[in-house]
Every structure is written in C-alpha cells, then in structure tokens.
Amino acid sequence: MTAATPGATPTIVLVGHGMVGQRFLEALAERGLTATHRVVVLCEEPRPAYDRVQLTSYFSGRSAEELSLTDPRFIEDHGIELYVGDPAEHVDRAARTVTARSGRVFDYDVLVLATGSYPFVPPVPGKDAEGCFVYRTIEDLLAIEEYARSRATTGAVVGGGLLGLEAAGALKGLGLATHIVEFAPRLMPVQVDEGGGAALLRTIEEMGLTVHTGTGTQEIVTGTDGAVTGMKLSDGSELATDLVVFSAGVRPRDQLARDCGLVVGERGGITVDAQCRTVGDERVFAIGECALASDGRVYGLVAPGYEQAETAAATIAADEASFTGADLSTKLKLLGVDVASFGDAHGTAADCLDVVYSDARSGLYKKLVIGRDGTLLGGILVGDAETYGTLRALTGTVPPIAPESLVLPAGAGGPVQFGPSALPDEAVICSCHNVTKGTIRGAVTDHACTSVPEVKKCTKAGTGCGSCVKVLGQLVDAELAANGVEVDKGLCGCFARTREELYEIALALRINTYQDLLDRYGREGARGGDGCEVCKPAVGSIIASLAPSIGASGYVLDGEQAALQDTNDHFLANLQKNGSYSVVPRIPGGEITPEKLIVIGEVARDFGLYTKITGGQRIDLFGARVEQLPLIWARLVDAGFESGHAYGKALRTVKSCVGQTWCRYGVQDSVRMAIDLELRYRGLRSPHKLKSAVSGCARECAEAQSKDFGVIATANGWNLYVGGNGGATPRHADLLAQDLSDAELVRLIDRFLMFYIRTADRLERTSTWLERIPGGLDHVREVVVEDSLGICEELESLMTAHVAHYRDEWAGTIEDPEKLARFVSFVNAPDTPDPVVAFVPERDQIKPDLPLLSIGMRPAEDLLEGSAR
C-alpha cells in the first residue's frame, strides 16, 4: 500500500456496515490496525450491522437488538467512528475523499466498499403500488408487518428462492394466507435439483402454503385506492392478494463505484483482484455482495464475504492473502424444512454418478454426486440435513465407507458411524470462518483447549451459522482421546456413571434413596460411604423429580432427602449475605389481587422485611431470620399463597404480558396461559432452575425468548421456544414448534421438560444442554415432537404423575411439628436468634449490616446464583 502522509494518522473509510463490513472491522482489530489507523464507517441503515441471515426470526419474536452483530463496546474500545443513517454519496478518487449524505467529508488513505446488494424488482406494471414491498432490511420487515396487520389477509411472494421462502415464512407467521410465485419449474432452483425441489414442494404445500412454479408475474392489479388487490400471472391465471413481496434475487450495489469511475462487470459488481483491490486503484477495495471477484463471480453468501473481508484486512496490513473463490455450500432451515447443498450439487463435472435416496411420504430427498474414482463431489439434502457437516467436510475426498450408507436411513444400510479421524486435516469444518480440521486439532493440542466453547473462542469455528457444531464436538472429543486425555464422564468421585445414567437406573429399578443408589452403583471405595457435596444434591434432585413414579416422598426434607439438599433447600428459602433469608411466594403469571398484595405488605411490615419486586413478576421479602420463616409462611399460606421455589432447582416463574385481554396488540390470552403453565409445573425439580414466559404477541413484552421455555402467541395459536437464558452468558431460545393449540403446547412442554430432566447433566441449564446434546435442537425436536425414540408416552406419564402429586412445601412444613423443629438458629438454644443477623436503615427499609462470616461454607453454585430469580 502507498504510504500515508508523513506525520498523519492514516485513515481507513468503510462504506457500508452490514455483516461483511462488521467482519472487516473485526479483522482490522485482530491485526492491530484500529490502533494505528483512524477508522470511519458510513452506514446507510439507521442501525449498525445485524444478522441478515436470521432476518425472518424477527417475525417470531426476535428483536432488532437481538439480531445485532455490533457490540457498542467493540466500536468504542477500538475508537471506530460509526455514522449510522449517513451513507456515502460521492467518492473523489483524485482528492481521496468521501462525501456523506450529511455533507461530512472524510479524507481516506484506504477506501473499502462494502455496499452489499439491492433487491431486484421485475419491471412489471403496478410494481410500485401500495402494498408492494421488498424483503431486505429490518425497516422492510417493519413496513410489511404494519401493512399485514392493518390491511391484508393474503400475501404473495414473487420468487421461490432462498429469500423468497424466507419471506413466505414471514408472511405465514403474520397469519396471512400465503402464495409463492416462482418462474423456474421448481423451488430453490440454484440450490436443489428437480428431485430436491419436488420434496421441498410437497413439504411446503403440506404447511398450507400455495406454490405456483413455472409461471411469472405479468402485472400487479390495484383497486380504486391504488392499493394491491391481485396479480396477473404469465400462465393466464389471476391471483387475489392484498400484499406482494418481491424477492426475485439481488443485484450488486455498485453505483457509487460507477460514479467515481471504477471498473464494474458487464452484469454488475465492482471488479476486484485476488486481494480484493479494485482494478486500477490500489487504495480502493470492494468486499461482499458488491464485489465481482477475480474468478468472475459475485458471491451472495455470507461466508465468502467474510473471507473477502479478511483478505482485504490482511492486504492492508501488508500480509499475504488472496481470495480466488469460495465454497458455496449452505445449510438452511426454511419454513422449518432442512435444506442443504454442498460442492458440485448439480453434478456438472464430467463422468460423475448420482446416489439418490427419496421418500416422498416423509418429504426426504438426499443426493450425493460421486466421481468415477469414488470422490465425493457434492450433494443435496432436503428434509434431513443431519449429516451435512460431515459430508461437506468429506467433499473432494474418497469417503472411507460406501456413499449410499451416508444417505440411507437407519435399517436400510445406514447411517454408518465413523469418527472424525476419517476427515483429512485440510477439510474445512467451519465454512463461515474457513476453519480446517487441522486448525481445530491444533486448538486442542497446541492451545490446550479442552471443550467446544474454548475451541470456538480460539478458532471462531462454530460461531457463524452453527451448522458445524456437532462435527466440532466430535473432533474435540477425538483429539482429546488421541492425546491420551481421559475424560471421566462420571458424575463425581462417588459415581462413575453420568447423571443421565443414574436417572435411568433410578427410574427403571425404582431406587428411591441415595444410599441405595450409592451402595449398588457407586464406585469401589465409595459404596457404604456418605457421598459428597456434588452427587448428594444431584441424586436428591433425581429422586425428587421422579418421586411419584418410584415411590419416594415428594417433600424434599423427608428423612434422608433432607441431608441431600443444597443450602437454600435446607430451609426452603434463599440464604442472603448476612445469614438472613428471603421469602418469595408464588404469583403465577404476575397476576395478583389487591387483597393478596395487602397481605404481603402486612407480612413485610410486621416482620420488618425488605421488599422488592423481582424481574420475574414476583415480590421478594428479605431479612427473615430462620426461626421466623414458618411464621411468615403460615401468614402467606392462610392468604392463599404457596412457595415460589426461588430456593430450588425447579420452576421459578412463568412471566407474562397482559395479552389480548387488555393490550390492543395481543392475539392470545397470555396471562391465562402463563398461570396454567406455572400451576402445572410448580415444584418440578430439575438439574437447574427453570424460567419461562408467555407473550401475547410478537412484540414479546414478556421476553419469552430469554427463557428455558418460552411461548409467543400467534394468530393461529402458540409458538414454543426452548433453551434460552439470560445471566452472564445469555442465549436466545430456539423455535421448537409453531402455531400450536393449547393442548399441543402443553403436551410438547411436558415432553421437553421431562426429556431435559432425564438427559441433562447436574447444574446444566437448558441452554447449555441444548448445545451439548448430540444433534442439538434437531435431535430434541425429533424426540419430543416426532417421538423418534418412542418415549413420549412415558415422558407424559411422568409429568402427569408430578402434577397429580404436587403439594406445597411451605404448607407441608408448617403442618408437621417434626419438620418445624429444624427451623432454629441454634439447636441447643432454639429460642436464641442469630446475633450475626443485623440490619441498618436505608431508603425507608433495611439492609444487611454484617457480612456472613461463614460464607466459605456455601456450595459454589449457591454463591454464583445468589438470590437471582
């Protein structure tokens, strides 16, 4: 690169802040260039970079903030000047300046164009009528949503490709009768062949969408008010519709380059060399969908754009890098249907053979393209893309097993299990970030990574689309084993078996005591002993969750069970900083009568408790001494309250908005559903705490997608999300099923919760479990929705038993003198209060005066949790 003016800080101007633009900034930061250069970013949209790949998830409740890819701290920490809503309008290459719409003028030493693409709208009459939209940005989605809710009952999408099917899914999610119009003879003509298109068509039509293939749009018909009323198609038919979304492909946004004299391709795209520099001007780069790469292609996928971003950043840093082409493999879930293609999916290579498996009834289609020498060249998967990660990594090699075994279902010659060792080191495992198997192995061997999260952080593998995570986990385990690292999967030093295995043993053999389980299935040397602080609460939780089915007491402080519990469970309350306890009565759905509010206020006043409304729509009462707990519970139980289980690894809350009863946007009664769910799952003991929420519409005021299981209302029923959580490592929940009736929703939640309780590790939240369990969300969906393991009836019966035998623990305590005897500060002086528990006034309430001297005795998980609920 040409040197900057002596003494001046060189300036890099980035035009465009989409996914590729953000990756370019990250690549600059990784190379230290943000410390040595002034970096200016001009962004046309009113918001920073967001995940355009997941755009459709906005309609299922995911917010614009959750779609964001831009951490404000990253921008601030690296001193990046980001101007949103202020696009570049003129480039003067002679003066090396960029002028923004606001009139700001920026000098540059390096200019990077990442202007992306724009939607192609066919030049048909009426295309600009009211009710016609494109599908590209969050603002487009907001406009579609508003129009659909106020003026439309039927929608049509022009284009049956990748974006077209996503748009159709969005319209269906808005409750519109939806049509798809595709000029080609099949859906997704670029990605799938005739067989794959047929399987996709059958599945989509079964969802209630109407597909018109082999026909084009001739005219948009409008009414007297100028709004859309229909479409005329090229086959002579007419289609009545209130709303039209054009999603017929994209074109490179290269006008800025054209205007400043840069070379563009005959069909568009800013021409660049292998280093992503524009032809004739080494100071200007182009990356992403606006760039015509040196191989003559404009790449419309994010992975090639990321590679171009890294290439440009490396070149600016004077490192050797080049972009000469990219893997066009892709794995998608469109309208809930897995669709994947990789390599030479259409078999364009000379002298190749196809291996095809098709099941029209199940909507499955799998095709592998094999060279005469046995080399795997590519393939297409529709309806089941479980093997995508392995197959894509094997592309270009001769698989170690017969190709047909890779596509046939179990019982018909496949799938054959073979380990990650079959993949060559040069196999690309993560196409989003171009991470090879060798790099992943190196992360384990050379950088001492011992888990998938550590390898993700070290290599970026698995942090893009996520389709490689399963293979990534297999590789990490295989490399650890190859290095002689024996991973003991036993629960603890007392048990060689996992928590899941111990659960199955207890259920099958009806073992209902910890000591019996330890004596029969503990490790040598542990049998006959007392166990440890790891396995005792874990087994206690197993027994509590299975209690009605294995003949155990459902009360956690009965007999042996009392000795197994964590600190909080010992006193059915949350231990606080100064040795006092907090009391949280259950308030299902956050709904409470004035009379009950008065009772809580009176209890707090009479016992001098600090009161706070929690994030889960409950009221927390702090500062109770242990001997006061039964007295407080008695007052609350008399008023109709019960334990909120804020102390236990159990269901905490089911939060809700006010729903259609009060809110003008609500489409279902979210309060009723939240109350029903909380009363159904109250007291359910699990490996970790459970939180839930129900939102009455897609605006998601109850924040259901940050919960272990969350429910969002649609015009047709309920969408169920699973595996979310807030906290230190937030995770957005995944859509498990949609448009469910009340009965279907409850049945799937029953199955999901019992399957989680059955298979999760100790202290494992649903979010971590969902990412760890082999097959992830797809496997969970197969088990709890499709009953692939044939266990759903058993899961439902276990939940039915729990519901039938539930009894409030507070009420059970205050009715039993023996149980009440444990609620004293000192056993040998039961009437003496703990002198450590002291308070001072603050803001008309109290706060702890002294720290808890014995805090080191608390289990680590309690210290981490505190009183969070």
Predicted confidence band of residue 864 (pLDDT cuts 50, 70, 90): very low
Q: Is 576 or 74 the better-scoring residue by pLDDT?
A: 74
Q: Are residues 150 and 235 in the same domain?
A: yes
Q: Are residues 239 and 153 in the same domain?
A: yes
Q: pLDDT, tens digit, for every residue of 97-118?
A: 999 999 999 999 999 999 999 9
Residue 71 has pLDDT above 80, yes or no: yes
CATH of the domain at 342: 3.30.390.30
**Which amino acid is residue 654, in one-letter code?**
V
Residues with Cβ < 8 Å from 66, sequence gap 6 or more?
705, 732
Q: What are phi and psi for residue 722, nearest 5 degrees? A: -140, 155
**Which amino acid is residue 295, in one-letter code?**
D
Among 248, 278, 304, residue at a domain's last position: 248
Query: Which of 181-185, 432-436, 454-458 shows the lowest per-residue confidence on average (mean pLDDT)?
Result: 432-436
Task: Read off the pLDDT of each residue in 476-496 and give the average, rounded to a whole number.
Answer: 80
Q: Is 605 or 847 the better-scoring residue by pLDDT?
A: 605
Predicted confidence band of residue 59 (pLDDT cuts 50, 70, 90): low
Predicted confidence at residue 863, as pLDDT, reads 31
Residues with Cβ < 8 Å from 818, sequence gap 6 or more?
none
CATH of the domain at 41: 3.50.50.60
Collapsing DSSP to helix, strand or coil, 42 comes out as strand
Task: Read off the pLDDT of each residue in 291-303 and give the average, rounded to a whole number.
Answer: 88
Residue 494 in marked binding region? no
Give just the sign of the alpha carbon dihedral 674, 675, 676, 682: positive
In a domain, 720, yes or no: no
Strand pairing category for 217-222 and 651-656: unpaired
In a domain, 279, yes or no: yes
Q: Are residues 173 and 98 in the same domain?
A: no
Residue 716 has pLDDT above 80, yes or no: yes
Q: Are residues 73 and 19 in the same domain?
A: yes
Between CA 157 and CA 132 the distance in angstroms is 10
Query: Which of 13-17, 266-270, 363-367, 387-391 shows the lowest per-residue confidence on average (mean pLDDT)?
Result: 387-391
Predicted confidence band of residue 556 (pLDDT cuts 50, 70, 90): confident
Please spell the DSSP secondary structure of 624-681, one letter per residue.
E-GGGHHHHHHHHHHTT--B--TTSSBEEEEEE--HHHH-TT--S-HHHHHHHHHHHH
Between CA 627 and CA 568 the distance in angstroms is 15
Strand partners, 286: 113
Predicted confidence at residue 728, as pLDDT, reads 59
Residue 296 has pLDDT above 70, yes or no: yes
Predicted confidence band of residue 361 (pLDDT cuts 50, 70, 90): low
Among 210, 231, 248, residue at a domain's last position: 248
Please report, for residues 93, 141, 177, 664, 764, the alpha-carbon distance to residue 716 in angstroms, rounded to integers and kept in the order given: 55, 20, 12, 17, 33
Q: What percent of the chain has pLDDT over 90?
A: 51
Residue 744 has pLDDT above 50, yes or no: yes
Q: What are phi and psi for residue 377, nearest 5 degrees? A: -100, -30
Please spell the DSSP secondary structure of 158-206, one letter per residue.
E--SHHHHHHHHHHHHTT-EEEEEESSSSSSTTT--HHHHHHHHHHHHH
The end-to-end CA distance of the chain, in Å, is: 55
Residue 663 in marked binding region? yes
Predicted confidence band of residue 288 (pLDDT cuts 50, 70, 90): very high
**Helix 437-445 / helix 452-459 crossing angle, nearest 10 deg:** 110
Q: Are residues 101 and 71 in the same domain?
A: yes
Reference 685, options 798, 587, 776; nearest CA is: 798
Task: Read off the pLDDT of each residue in 710-736 and give the average, rounded to a whole number.
Answer: 88
Query: Which of 481-485, 604-608, 693-697 shows the lowest per-residue confidence on average (mean pLDDT)?
Result: 481-485
Q: How many CB atoms lie within 10 A of CB 569?
A: 25
Q: Is 424 or 228 the better-scoring residue by pLDDT?
A: 228
Residue 412 has pLDDT above 60, yes or no: no
Between CA 812 and CA 785 the distance in angstroms is 36
Residue 339 has pLDDT above 80, yes or no: yes
Residue 430 in marked binding region? no
Q: How many CB atoms lie within 10 A of CB 267?
A: 10
Both tokens of 107, joined, read 């000098």
What domain range includes position 143?
132-248
Residue 411 has pLDDT above 60, yes or no: no
Task: Read off the pLDDT of each residue in 685-704 and give the average, rounded to a whole number.
Answer: 93
Predicted confidence band of residue 455 (pLDDT cuts 50, 70, 90): confident
CATH of the domain at 426: 1.10.10.1100
Residue 495 has pLDDT above 60, yes or no: yes
Among 534, 550, 565, residue at a domain's last position: 565
Q: How many CB atoms lie within 10 A of CB 763?
A: 21
If one counts the domains in the chain, the total is 5
Between CA 288 and CA 250 the distance in angstroms is 13
Both tokens of 210, joined, read 């109407």
Q: Is 147 or 854 the better-scoring residue by pLDDT?
A: 147
Task: Read off the pLDDT of each residue in 514-520 and give the average, rounded to a whole number.
Answer: 92
Residue 256 has pLDDT above 70, yes or no: yes
Task: Read off the pLDDT of each residue in 303-323 and give the average, rounded to a whole number.
Answer: 92
Q: Are residues 78 and 150 in the same domain?
A: no
Predicted confidence at residue 121, as pLDDT, reads 93
Torsion (CA) 101, 103, 108, 110 in degrees, nearest 10: 0
Q: Is 773 or 11 the better-scoring residue by pLDDT?
A: 11
Strand partners, 278: 272, 281
Q: For tokens 């197993």, what's the residue?
A: 542
Predicted confidence band of residue 593 (pLDDT cuts 50, 70, 90): very high
Task: Read off the pLDDT of each residue in 182-194 and give the average, rounded to a whole number.
Answer: 86
In a domain, 754, yes or no: no
Q: Is 559 exposed, middle or buried (0-12, 13-18, 19+ CB in 10 A)?
A: exposed
In a domain, 184, yes or no: yes
What's the mean pLDDT when you consider all of the chain? Answer: 86
In a domain, 228, yes or no: yes
Residue 746 has pLDDT above 80, yes or no: yes
Q: Is 423 or 320 the better-scoring residue by pLDDT?
A: 320
In a domain, 575, yes or no: no
Predicted confidence band of residue 7 (pLDDT cuts 50, 70, 90): low
Q: Are residues 141 and 223 in the same domain?
A: yes
**Helix 437-445 / helix 469-482 crossing angle, nearest 10 deg:** 50
Predicted confidence band of residue 404 (pLDDT cuts 50, 70, 90): confident
Residue 472 has pLDDT above 60, yes or no: yes
Q: pLDDT, tens digit, for every residue of 530-539?
A: 888 888 889 9
Predicted confidence at residue 314, as pLDDT, reads 94
Q: Is 238 or 829 the better-scoring residue by pLDDT?
A: 238
In a domain, 630, yes or no: no
In a domain, 787, yes or no: no
| Diameter over CA atoms, the chain | 93
Predicted confidence at residue 409, as pLDDT, reads 60
Q: Is 85 or 460 the better-scoring residue by pLDDT?
A: 85
Collapsing DSSP to helix, strand or coil, 435 comes out as strand
Q: Are residues 17 and 34 in the same domain?
A: yes
Q: Are residues 139 and 243 in the same domain?
A: yes
Predicted confidence at residue 575, as pLDDT, reads 85
Residue 701 in marked binding region? yes
Strand partners, 436: 428
Task: Read off the pLDDT of each residue in 30-58 and give the average, rounded to a whole number.
Answer: 89
Q: Are residues 114 and 261 in the same domain?
A: yes
Q: Are residues 241 and 349 in the same domain?
A: no
Query: Which of 419-433, 521-535, 643-657, 741-755 shows the lowest per-residue confidence on average (mean pLDDT)?
Result: 419-433
Predicted confidence at residue 861, as pLDDT, reads 35
Q: Are residues 409 and 438 in the same domain?
A: no
Residue 140 has pLDDT above 50, yes or no: yes
